[in-house]
Amino acid sequence: MNRYFLPLALTMLCAACTSTAPAAPDTPAATAQLRLATYNTSLYSDDAGGLIRELEGDSPHARKIAAVLQRIRPDLVLLNEFDFDDAHRAADLFQQRYLEAPQAGGGDALRYPYRYLAPVNTGVPSGLDLDNNGTVGGQGRERGNDAWGYGLHPGQYGMLVLSRYPIDTAAVRSFQLLKWSAMPGAIRPLDPDTGKPFWNDVVWSQLRLSSKSHWDVPVRTPLGTVHVLASHPTPPVFDGREKRNAARNHDELRLWKEYLDGGDAPWLCDDQGRCGGLAADARFVIVGDLNNDPVDGDGRHDAILELLEHPRVLRYPTPSSVGGEQTSLAYAEKGIVRRGAPQHATGDFGPRSGTLRLDYVLPSTGFSHLGSGVFWPAEGSTDAKIADGSDHHLVWVDVR
């Protein structure tokens, strides 16, 4: 199952991400190719340190996630919903005890010498009454609702980029702290009963746009530098009639549109104080659980459509799967019908929502599309036994 030789040099990671492993061998760009992927792994816990404890044991869940990665063997992959901890203990454990150990139904051991992970907004107390219930913080969901991004502890639902190739750490840009109100034309939620803003000016001026974070992670590949644009916007549900999460999801997606539009954009400043969008000649891939289906489910679909149709995004056949089609058609028999193609679904979200296409790998123009897919095997197949570790399924695209 090995598609590539994976370097085995041990690495030391700094507080944010970097590695000192040797650079990838030179490969002629004309013949090289990359497999790019995204996977919402559901490797999170409601308790701080819970994922670490799970991975220190023998986690059937983590074994299935690792098995899928070993089968698909992406060169660059974003893992969504992977809890962040300051010591990177969970990331170490997942690499050493799961990816580097052959898993049943998976493939050979898989090693990523480079990775990027950093703090996210989920679970970080804002000190503000963000759900307008009259109190700040509290217990359980009330505490999560008043965090900068919904979460029960800092780092819940974090992100992790894994790479075969070196990451240019000094050039990484993160937008964790960017204020929502800084975006021109930001959608400010309104109270439907009064027509007034849901948040007062003091709160609105402090709100962060990203529910987790937005990262631009430049990776030095045989095809040149590829900017991995990683995010996990809030789902456009779990709010009230003001639809504040739907508005936030829209604008979190629009951040990438504005970033691709490039230019000076003096409002678009990263956490390091550098302002402006992505260089016009830069190659990139947008990856993540973007929590927005082009036609089905909740949310403002124009935001994802603007990304899919952006002039800098490569047009290619939509990734598909047999399992996704089977599951979508089974829901249709129960009255939950997708308007979108059933084979394009990337996750199964139960009897209320059915299947949706929420997970995306969007390479830039300048790449040639070689193939793509969603790892959602046919029901009852051998591969299906490792595909149920998450309600989402891995999406991959091969480019040259």
pLDDT tens per residue across span 17-29: 433 233 333 445 5
Domain assignment present for 60: yes
DSSP letters, 102-153, are --TTS-S----SEEE----SBT-B-SS-TT-SSSSS-SHHHHHHTBSBS-SS
pLDDT tens per residue across span 258-294: 999 988 999 999 999 999 999 999 999 999 999 999 9
Domain assignment present for 149: no
Domain assignment present for 146: no
Domain assignment present for 28: no
Amino acid at 397: V
Task: Please give the residue range of the domain that contains residue 345.
Answer: 34-120+155-399
Q: How many domains does the chain have?
A: 1
pTM: 0.92
pLDDT at 30: 57
Domain assignment present for 5: no
The ranges of the chain with pLDDT < 70 are 1-30
Domain assignment present for 312: yes
- Classify residue 315 by its DSSP letter: P
Give the helix ranges, DSSP H, for 217-359.
Answer: 244-261, 301-308, 322-333, 350-353
pLDDT at 107: 87
Domain assignment present for 322: yes
The CATH number that applies at residue 225 is 3.60.10.10
pLDDT at 219: 98
Domain assignment present for 361: yes
- CB count in 10 Å sphere of residue 65: 27
